[in-house]
Amino acid sequence: MAADLEVVNLFIIAGGTLAIPILAFVASFLLWPSALIKVYYWYWRRTLGLQVRYADCGGYRFCYACRGKPGMRPSILMLHGFSAHKDTWLSVVKYLPKHLHIVCVDMPGHEGTTRTNTEDYSIQGQVKRIHQFVETIRLNRKPFHVVGTSMGGNVAGVYAACYQKEICSMTLICPDGIRHPCETKFDNHLQDLEHSNYTLNIPLIPTTPEEMEDMFRLCSHVRFKIPQQILQGLVDVRQPHNTFYEKVFMEIVGEPSRYALQEHLHLITAPLQVIWGKKDQVVDVSGAAVIAEVLPGCRVDLLENCGHSVVMERPCRTAKLILEFIILQQDTRGGTKKSY
């Protein structure tokens, strides 16, 4: 979701940042929008100094992008949301110091990470796979900071509960997995889906440009005027993966996963930061109060005029809040102020 919104942002500024002949750009825009989208992601990873790497473990391959090296400061592991990918975080990484060690991984089955028909894509199943990834690249040689948004926030929270010693601090951005007291527009869609025995289209899995536009309206409070060619390109990029997305969706809305984060909150011991858009129509902002009630020491940052796609709508503010929180936790533990 946020990854698709990021594409829109990239197109908006593309004309002034890419040294591509105007004619070639226009031709690509009109004829091969899906290919152009991939070029944009490649360009921005390169511009931001992110390198794409692979980690293999027992026949399973993880794809991730990273920048910087482990040092005195905690590494940052970033977990994206449902049907997105590692490039979701590009807009946030842009505003983080280049010397920080940042790891953005494709979640199980997503983008470049191995996808199998027998994989467990429940929240607990994804937590186990992410732990396998962390051990494979030896990220847990020292405690690290984990950031997760939406589905990735659910996974990050359960991970912190299950592997307490590995996490020094954490940030959850509009995480699902919480019994929020107020219903959202998406909750109403979900009820309709359940009543239809899931025969209706899933709003988060668009199959037409019109449905893609509807998903943008659902996930973002900011309204974008998106050309038809871009909408079609986004649909084309996602179309081959829709069967997989349906499988994952059914897993994460099922009983074992739907409220996994809330059921594990009492086990979280690491300092916690919660960031939420006040206009979230997917996972209601009232979930922040639910988390704060269980973990009263957590920090809650609510963003005005912002929806579910926080990392796209408020990337600079998000990066600043995460960095401030990490610095605060480091200062609290170390007793000295560190320069970032």
Q: Just list the catalytic residues.
A: 150, 280, 308
**pLDDT tens, N- to C-terminus, the chain (340 residues):** 656 656 555 555 445 444 444 444 444 444 457 778 888 899 999 999 999 999 999 899 999 999 999 988 899 999 999 999 999 999 999 999 999 999 999 999 999 999 998 899 999 999 999 999 999 999 999 999 999 999 999 999 999 999 999 999 999 999 999 999 999 999 999 999 989 988 889 999 999 999 999 999 999 998 878 888 889 889 999 999 999 999 999 999 998 899 999 999 999 999 999 999 999 999 999 999 999 999 999 999 999 999 999 999 999 999 999 999 999 998 887 654 444 4
> What pTM did the predictor assign?
0.89
Q: What is the 3-state secondary structure (H, E, C) of the chain?
A: CHHHHHHHHHHHHHHHHCCCCHHHHHHHHHHCHHHHHHHHHHHHHHHHCCEEEEEEECCEEEEEEEECCCCCCCCEEEECCCCCCHHHHHHHHCCCCCCCCEEEECCCCCCCCCCCCCCCCCHHHHHHHHHHHHHHCCHHHCCEEEEEECHHHHHHHHHHHHCHHHEEEEEEECCCCCCCCCCCHHHHHHHHHHHCCCCCCCCCCCCCHHHHHHHHHHHCCCCCCCCHHHHHHHHHHHHHHHHHHHHHHHHHCCHHHHCHHHHHHHHCCCCEEEEEECCCCCCCCCHHHHHHHHCCCCEEEEECCCCCCHHHHCHHHHHHHHHHHHHHHHHHHHCCCCCC
